[in-house]
Amino acid sequence: MIIPALDIIDNKIVRLYKGDYNLIHYYDYDIYNLLDHYYNSGSDMIHLVDLSAARDPNNTQKQFIIQLIRYFKGVIQLAGGIRNLEDIEYFLSIGVKRIVVGSVIIDNFSTFKTWVKKYSNECIVAALDVRINDTNCKTISINGWKKNTNILLEDILQKLSDIDIKYVLCTDISKDGTLLGPNIELYKSLNIQFPKITFQASGGISSLEDIKRLLNIGIKDMIIGKSLLENKFTISEAIQCYQKGLFLA
């Protein structure tokens, strides 16, 4: 599906460039109106990111996020700073459709495993933010992209596959917020290596052609943020392109 994304800092819509909090661009949209527009245009899910909490779990926009969730029950895939069981239980109880968890996967995999078992692989999405070097070595970054690790993407994906995780949101950080196109080779290789996982492609999608290219390599879930905010195409055009491409596939 096409999943429009909204990243929020200080209750405002923003986009980072390559995950850099020093390179923030603010957008002057009314968040409720934009969410309404996405939903009424046919979006079955909206990816909402509390970037303040992703960077510092003690600096959340929780009350504002709660208001959005209650208004858009059953639509939100929530990400950003969710690192304990209490938050998962609470957000699911008030209407979040899926919870996205990232840093805990690296910091405490056994804890993450218990969360997946408790809430099912339909509710928990694993988020893996990846930095790729010149030799194509893919390592994970956590804590809102602030902390780089030496942990390989493929190693973590194998562990996730072993516990039957269903959804993995994989972001190539070098593509995020750039409008330079998605990393097709990355998603193509991951789709082949880990066929049990449904990957959510994130980062760089800038045209309807990018949507077609991702469909052609078997990627069915696509998170789109900046290109919608900057009117590269509309959400309706994206959904129509996706549906047509899915039919042709």
Q: Hey, CA dihedral for 47, 160, 54, 176, is it positive or negative?
A: negative
Q: What angle do CA 144, 124, 21 make, to 5 degrees?
A: 10
Point out the catalytic residue in the list 7, 50, 87, 221. Answer: 7
Phi first, then psi: give them for residue 166, nearest 5 degrees.
Answer: -100, -45
| Catalytic residue list contains 7 | yes
Q: Cα–Cα distance between 205 and 190 in angstroms, integer?
A: 18
| Catalytic residue list contains 10 | no
Q: Are 46 and 72 in contact (CB under 8 A)?
A: yes
Q: Hey, CA dihedral for 12, 15, 16, 22, is it positive or negative?
A: negative
Point out the catalytic residue in the list 50, 87, 129, 172. Answer: 129
Residues belonging to the active site: 7, 129
